């Protein structure tokens, strides 16, 4: 088995003789050895080993602080999903129990019995593998629609709405800022509908010149204008039997809005330069980043068309308002780019995680995808830093201490839940509270589980 295929095992032991013995015995693993707490933390950041075998009897630091328990606490905070197995002296049962209470997975008392230690490690690797598979399944459950990565309660509610609307022919309009995923939602509507076997045809109303928009939508007959050398079908007719996606509908010219309204009412089109009325069976989905209601008041968008296309309006929130989605999306994009580029990057630094959570993401998901892609190219280490992402954390200043405390505690809980992928035990460990206390805090701050 090559080194890259072996499971990683970190051994934290200051005895050089025992280090050598354990390294030799566990040759089926990729063994990383650390003799001090500092070396162990560095190895955790660099290699992210799933299992750590740690001697609880590490020598104290210069100030007399117990390095063994401090090492357990720091590893638990840095890698809450990793399994720590502590080795203790024969008469040190109380400290072993204390270590487990602090976050260690299991303990083993010296002298070392290789066969027993093998069984403990095999079980730890097996449990870690099962938990990893569970997290992946849970992530899929929090992404109910193909292509949509979300755990925010509002986004999950929108996903359920999409699922309910998909089987119908209700004309839907998706609103929200640029880069929030409106086209992905439109594709989900199509793919969940009975029309999924037919085409979904998209047209960006802002990208087509006004004088070409009508022929682009409805097609044209041969000789209808200069350059019309043959009959050409428009987007509407091409989408027959499927879905027509009108992106940036707010940029459609007023004169064409009337023709679009007639089509939506009658489901009949006429090609430019033609007289034949052509019936078309198509489901229409629209999207815009503009305020259509205000445009109606300003007279730049027809009121009758507004009510026709907004049989169901779905507003997609910007990324900055989605609780827990920032890091979830960042990790999703990172995994994709790592696979595409065969990179050895293993994740984000804690500072990068903080920067991702603190940043407002004015460009929404599109900006995040671009920044993560750039960071994969720029990163020279195993972990992506905030500098690789080009992010600088900027906190909001407030003199209201109650508000500061409320926002800080709620944000910390949400961040911890996201970092542990909503594993309650790991989150409680990360925050330094008990499970009942964490449940009470989640109730206090109105934080729901990702799949609630």
For 277-344, give the DSSP string.
-EE---EEEEEESS-HHHHHHHTSS-HHHHHHHTSEEEEPPPGGGSTTHHHHHHHHHHHHHHHHHT--
Query: Which residues, in sequence order, are CB contacts of 140 under 8 Å at separation 6+?
Result: none
In terms of DSSP bridges, do strands 278-279 and 268-269 run parallel, antiparallel, or are they unpaired? antiparallel
Give the range among 170-174, 341-345, 388-392, 398-402 with minimum mean pLDDT: 398-402
The pLDDT, as a whole number, for residue 297 is: 95
The pLDDT, as a whole number, for residue 90 is: 65
Query: Which residues, in sequence order, are CB contacts of 201 under 8 Å at separation 6+?
Result: 235, 238, 239, 242, 243, 244, 245
Per-residue pLDDT at 316 exceeds 50: yes
Write out pLDDT tens, residues 328-355: 899 889 988 988 887 778 788 878 888 8
Mean pLDDT of 399-416: 73
Give the range among 138-142, 293-297, 300-304 with minimum mean pLDDT: 138-142
pTM: 0.61
Per-residue pLDDT at 396 exceeds 50: no
Q: Which of 443, 432, 434 is nearest to 410 (CA)?
A: 443
Mean pLDDT of 387-406: 64
Per-residue pLDDT at 406 exceeds 80: no
The pLDDT, as a whole number, for residue 144 is: 53
Write out pLDDT tens, residues 167-215: 999 999 999 999 999 999 999 999 999 999 999 999 999 999 888 899 9
Mean pLDDT of 129-137: 77
Per-residue pLDDT at 120 exceeds 60: yes
Write out pLDDT tens, residues 74-106: 888 788 889 999 988 766 788 888 888 888 899
321 vs 213: CA distance, rounded Å: 35
Mean pLDDT of 368-372: 95
- Taking the CA atoms of residue 89, residue 95, residue 100 and residue 105 in that order, the dihedral angle to the nearest 10 degrees is -10
Query: Which residues, in sequence order, are CB contacts of 56 under 8 Å at separation 6+?
Result: 68, 69, 72, 86, 87, 88, 92, 95, 96, 99, 107
Three-state DSSP class for residue 167: coil
Residue 23 contacts residue 1 (beta carbons within 8 Å): no
Mean pLDDT of 67-77: 86
Token pair listed for 413 = 């809980």
Per-residue pLDDT at 142 exceeds 60: no
Three-state DSSP class for residue 55: strand
CA distances from 134 to 138, 144, 338 (A): 6, 16, 22
Per-residue pLDDT at 2 exceeds 60: no
Mean pLDDT of 20-24: 89
Write out pLDDT tens, residues 272-297: 988 889 999 999 999 999 999 999 99
The pLDDT, as a whole number, for residue 102 is: 84
Per-residue pLDDT at 263 exceeds 80: yes
| Domains along the sequence of the chain with CATH | 3-140 (3.40.50.2300), 153-317 (3.40.50.300), 321-444 (1.10.8.60)
Three-state DSSP class for residue 425: helix
DSSP character for 58? P
């Amino acid at each position: 088995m090559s080194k890259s295929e072996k499971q990683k095992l970190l051994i934290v032991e200051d005895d050089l003789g025992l280090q050598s013995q354990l390294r030799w015995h566990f040759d089926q693993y990729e063994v990383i050895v650390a003799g001090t707490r500092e070396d162990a933390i560095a190895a955790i950041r660099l290699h992210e080993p799933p299992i750590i075998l740690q001697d609880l009897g590490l020598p104290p630091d210069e100030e007399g602080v117990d390095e063994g328990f401090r090492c357990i606490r720091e590893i638990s905070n840095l890698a809450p999903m990793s399994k720590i197995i502590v080795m203790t002296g024969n008469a040190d049962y109380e400290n072993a129990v204390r270590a487990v209470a602090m976050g260690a997975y299991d303990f083993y008392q010296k002298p070392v019995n290789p066969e027993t230690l093998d069984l403990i490690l095999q079980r730890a690797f097996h449990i870690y593998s099962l938990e990893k598979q569970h997290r992946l399944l849970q992530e899929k459950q929090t992404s109910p629609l193909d292509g949509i990565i979300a755990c925010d309660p509002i986004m999950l509610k929108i996903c359920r709405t999409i699922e309910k609307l998909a089987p119908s022919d209700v004309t839907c309009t998706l609103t929200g800022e640029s880069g929030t995923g409106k086209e992905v939602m439109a594709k989900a509507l199509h793919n969940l509908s009975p029309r999924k076997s037919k085409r979904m045809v998209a047209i960006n109303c802002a990208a087509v010149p006004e004088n070409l928009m009508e022929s682009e939508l409805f097609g044209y007959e041969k000789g209808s204008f200069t350059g019309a050398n043959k009959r050409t079908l428009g987007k509407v007719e091409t989408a027959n039997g499927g879905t027509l996606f009108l992106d940036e509908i707010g940029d459609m010219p007023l004169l064409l809005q009337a023709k679009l309204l007639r089509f939506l009412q009658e489901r009949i089109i006429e090609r430019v330069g033609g007289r034949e009325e052509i019936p078309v069976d198509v489901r229409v989905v629209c999207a815009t980043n503009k305020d259509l209601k205000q445009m109606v008041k300003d007279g730049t968008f027809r009121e009758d068309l507004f009510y026709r296309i907004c049989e169901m309006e779905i507003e997609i929130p910007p990324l900055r308002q989605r609780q827990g989605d920032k890091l979830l999306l960042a990790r999703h994009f990172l995994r994709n780019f790592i696979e595409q580029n065969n990179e050895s990057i293993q994740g984000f630094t804690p500072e990068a995680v903080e920067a991702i959570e603190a940043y407002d993401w004015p460009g929404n998901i599109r900006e995040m995808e671009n920044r993560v892609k750039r960071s994969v190219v720029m990163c020279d280490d195993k972990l992506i830093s905030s500098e690789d992402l080009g992010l600088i954390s900027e906190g909001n200043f407030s003199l209201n201490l109650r508000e500061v405390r409320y926002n800080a505690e709620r944000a910390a809980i949400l961040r911890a839940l996201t970092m542990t992928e909503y594993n309650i035990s790991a989150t409680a460990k990360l925050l330094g509270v008990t499970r009942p206390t964490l449940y009470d805090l989640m109730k206090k701050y109105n934080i729901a589980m990702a799949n609630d």
